[in-house]
Amino acid sequence: MSIQLPVDIDTVKGFLAASEGEALFHLASGCAALGACLEVGSYCGKSSIYLGTACRETDNILFAVDHHRGSEEHQPGEEYHDPALFDSSAHLMDSFRTFRANMRAAELEECVVPVVAPSAVAARRWNTPLGLVFIDGGHSREAALTDYRCWARHIVPGGFLAIHDIFPDPADGGQAPHEIYQLALASGQFELVEMVDTLGILRRL
């Protein structure tokens, strides 16, 4: 079923397929009674618009966690570097200005709460129950494990863990998201609901 978004999503920078975004929208729409939503790795806000729109329609909140300095692959000289997001005065990547502009254009500023910090710092004293956690942060093994260990424990029973860029075949992509997906299943605390392209959706038991 197609969904109505407040902006032309194709104009928003990001790496989320439409099918994956729509799956996130429907997940967020259905979990409002369980708790807030949280994503790790907002970048320019493509996933935030899908999730935030669902939160606005269900009177929920999305916490958007990202240091906005880019993942490993976004740095100068790397495959996914975007010069338009490089702050030449600071000599650092900075996607936050673009993220904020996109949230403003989508009229989501009252239901999307940006948390501009590394994942581990944001989680240090976290105590808000979560109905949905979407992990799409750094794809190094260390970054993915940190995101999983920091946030999966805050998902309430019946809530959802969604992990992006799961590639079972190493020839197709990095293995860190696939590794935390396997860890979640092996923990006995999550069960697979479905795979949508590279998006794995699990339910907390």
Q: Which residue numbers are catalytic?
A: 139
Straight-line distance from the first to the last Cα atom of the chain, in angstroms, rounded to the nearest whole number: 27
Which residue reads 């920078």 in tokens?
13
CB-based contacts of 172: which residues, under 8 Å, 6+ apart? none
Distance of CA 125 to the CA centre of its chain: 20
Taking the C-alpha atoms of residue 95 and residue 91, their distance in angstroms, rounded to an integer, is: 13
Q: Torsions phi, psi of 90, nearest 5? A: -95, -10
Taking the C-alpha atoms of residue 151 and residue 145, their distance in angstroms, rounded to an integer, is: 10
DSSP 21-71: HHHHHHHHHH-TTT-EEEEE--TTSHHHHHHHHHHHHTT--EEEE--SS--
